[in-house]
Chains A and B, each alone.
Chain A
Amino acid sequence: MTATLDHGAAPLVRRAASRPLKQLVVPYLYVLPAALFVAAFLLYPMVLTAWRSLTHFDGISDPTFAGLDNFRDLFADPHFLLSLRNTVIWTVAAVVFPVTLGLVFALAFSRVRWGGFFKTVIYLPATISAAAAGILFSFVFNYDNGILNMILRGIGLSGLASRWLFDVPTNTFAMIATYTWQQTGLNMMLFLVGLQGLPPEPIEAAKIEGCTGWNLVRRIILPMLMPYVVITTLLAIVNGFKVFDLIWVMTQGGPGRASETLAVTMYREGFILFKQGYSAAIAVVISIVALAFSYFYLRSVLEQEARQ
């Protein structure tokens, strides 16, 4: 064991000095192909986006430098402000529903008969694409013969039957419901991993002292599970903030532009309205917020790994 841990510097640094030229070149032959792919297709466009956000650019004529004009315009643009508001609603809902339900399901399915089967079924929606889920649920939410309205009319609640995907803000909540259906399984799996790692002793001790059911969950299990709650919540924020596919297939951000989120607004401004500089500024805003939460997420994951 010590031998493998001690692979570090000593023997190989000594050898490096006497390495022939070929030996010095070889590692680059392995690393460069991957590095070039990432640099050309990801890093170069990323830097360009940052630069474009400071220009007026329609994709055809030469970009002109605009300083922070685009960002100032953003916060005076009612489309952007509505989109920002929708994104905040999405982000909050993406935490509240899929994470809470994921936790409930993880608790409900641990140590229950058929538990493995239940877990698999709840996780299945996470294996299909957001686009496919969106298409399927746009049929569920259809006004005329959608399953939801059919059931509501069938049980005498016709008054509740709605134009789920056309009314504002109902359509955002219908899409969030779809998102919840898809994401809950993922969160449940993360919580199950957390539950499996809990030490059994405190739980057994609490049970012997008569602490059971909801009390046991609240007083003993939840506090111990807290690191996982934090990690799952931060991941849900990052993902909820970037939602695009589901909205694109269910409402395209409509009616009008009423249900757009930042990711959809960015796509529309850049690829439909060809305001590329403006669109790049939205991309920068999305990135700054997502990066901030990603940072906290990664820090929690690393802390959790260090603890184990």
Chain B
Amino acid sequence: MSAEIGEATGVAREAKFTSALILTVFWVLPIALLVMSAFKTPIEFSSTSTLALPQSFHLFDNIARAWAKGMASGFVNSAIYGVVASVISVILAAMAAYGIVRLRIPQGMFWFLLIYSGTIFPFQMYLIPLFNLYLDTGLYDTRIGIIAFYVAITIPFCMFVMRGFFLTVSWQIQEAAALDGANSWATFWRIMMPMARAPLILLVLIQFTWIWNDLLFGLVLTKSESVRPIMVALAGMQGVYGASDGPSVIAATLVGSAPTLILFLALQRYFVRGLTLGMGER
């Protein structure tokens, strides 16, 4: 079992429990107090103490105002980007891993390193030429454009994980499928992908979260309200309304953070496994 640090005596155990409780309360306190502001009207927010309990319930009004001020499109866009890009990415990455590991493409190590090298460099290394490339090709400020980029940036890690998975799959299964006359495509979709369901779902979750939380590439590759992702929309709202309408910006940020938070809570067990899988990268 895990290492036991505390002493077995009751007093020590209680002291440890109490200090853990205090630490945790301290950790959530700033946000817990901030949540109260999301319930207030802008006037109440600016005229009363932020520590005062809300006098009214305006959470939904605040959300509605934020929704109308440009949050709606950001929320919908990021939902589309997150789902579409992560699914495409995971499929392409699984195909590549299958080609490298199971179909033994010649110079497999070269292809592995070629794809994996996409995750080694800091993002700053892509930004400027990517922006110019997008301007030149008309991909700038389009949904297709940003989805294509999100697919590309998430492929290396997915390929790395799927390669690890395909290395563990028994070869007899593939031989048997071949004897049954299944071609590589049928083997991939009917045998390999169903077996890989757990890592595939995990990867979609990790990449959806990453795409949802991205600010930098949204800033660089999009401009208009109808295309920009959620985090760019929130940052923009904070810049424009942060001073005049704090409650709606706070409410919007809380709502905009909810999807990834809920995903984590619902699928915690898988996430923690994923953390050790990539040792926290991404």
Residue numbers of A with Cβ under 8 A of B are 3-4, 7, 12, 16, 26-31, 33-35, 37-46, 48-50, 52, 59, 105, 107-115, 117-118, 120-125, 127-132, 135-140, 145-148, 150-151, 154, 181, 186, 189-190, 193, 195-196, 198, 200, 203, 207, 212-213, 216-217, 221, 231, 235, 242, 244-245, 248-249, 262-263, 266-267, 270-271, 276, 279-280, 282-284, 286-287, 290-291, 294, 301
Q: Is B55 part of the binding interface, using a Cβ–Cβ cutoff of 8 Å?
A: no
User: B250 contacts which of A122, A139, A282 (Cβ < 8 Å)?
Assistant: A139
A283 to B125, CA, bound (A): 5
Kindly list 18 other residue pairs between chains A and B, CB separation below 8 angstroms, not including A124-B261, A145-B46, A271-B219.
A4-B172, A28-B99, A34-B95, A34-B115, A40-B152, A59-B128, A111-B2, A114-B21, A120-B265, A128-B213, A129-B260, A139-B250, A235-B281, A248-B219, A270-B127, A276-B128, A282-B124, A283-B125
Q: Is B100 part of the binding interface, using a Cβ–Cβ cutoff of 8 Å?
A: yes
A228 to B74, CA, bound (A): 39
User: B27 contacts which of A44, A138, A181 (Cβ < 8 Å)?
Assistant: A181
Nearest 6 CB-CB pairings of A with B: A30-B99, A129-B213, A41-B152, A34-B96, A48-B129, A27-B105
Contacts of A38 in B (CB 8 A): 114-115, 117-118, 152, 155-156
Closest to B114 in A: A35
- The 13 listed contacts between A and B (C-beta, < 8 Å) are A31-B100, A43-B114, A111-B4, A112-B13, A120-B265, A122-B24, A124-B264, A195-B3, A221-B3, A245-B216, A263-B124, A270-B127, A290-B122
A4 in contact with B170 (CB, 8 Å): yes
CB distance from B21 to the nearest CB of A (A): 7
Q: Is B276 part of the binding interface, using a Cβ–Cβ cutoff of 8 Å?
A: yes
Q: Is B161 part of the binding interface, using a Cβ–Cβ cutoff of 8 Å?
A: no
CB distance from B272 to the nearest CB of A (A): 7
CB distance from A304 to the nearest CB of B (A): 9
Contacts of B33 in A (CB 8 A): 147
B275 in contact with A140 (CB, 8 Å): no
Contacts of A280 in B (CB 8 A): 128
Q: Is B77 part of the binding interface, using a Cβ–Cβ cutoff of 8 Å?
A: no
Contacts of A286 in B (CB 8 A): 122, 124-125
Q: Is B6 part of the binding interface, using a Cβ–Cβ cutoff of 8 Å?
A: yes
Contacts of A270 in B (CB 8 A): 127-128, 131
B31 in contact with A7 (CB, 8 Å): no
Closest to A189 in B: B275
A111 to B184, CA, bound (A): 49
State the majority secondary structure of interface residues on B: helix
CB distance from A13 to the nearest CB of B (A): 9
Closest to B218 in A: A131
State the majority secondary structure of interface residues on A: helix
User: B121 contacts which of A245, A271, A291 (Cβ < 8 Å)?
Assistant: A291
- In this complex, the member of B99, B120, B125, B212 whose beta carbon has the largest number of chain A beta carbons within 10 angstroms is B125
A279 to B156, CA, bound (A): 26
CB distance from A27 to the nearest CB of B (A): 4
Contacts of B254 in A (CB 8 A): 136
Given A111-B4, A189-B272, A216-B5, A132–B129 Cβ distance below 8 Å? Answer: no
CB distance from A135 to the nearest CB of B (A): 5
Given A46-B126, A110-B2, A124-B264, A28–B121 Cβ distance below 8 Å? Answer: no
User: B257 contacts which of A30, A44, A128, A203 (Cβ < 8 Å)?
Assistant: A128
Contacts of A120 in B (CB 8 A): 265, 268
Mask: chain B, 125-141; 1 = CB below 8 Å from A; 0 = not = 11111111100000000
Contacts of A129 in B (CB 8 A): 212-215, 231, 257, 260
A283 in contact with B98 (CB, 8 Å): no
A262 to B132, CA, bound (A): 21
B3 in contact with A132 (CB, 8 Å): no
A263 to B216, CA, bound (A): 10
Closest to A290 in B: B122
Closest to A124 in B: B261
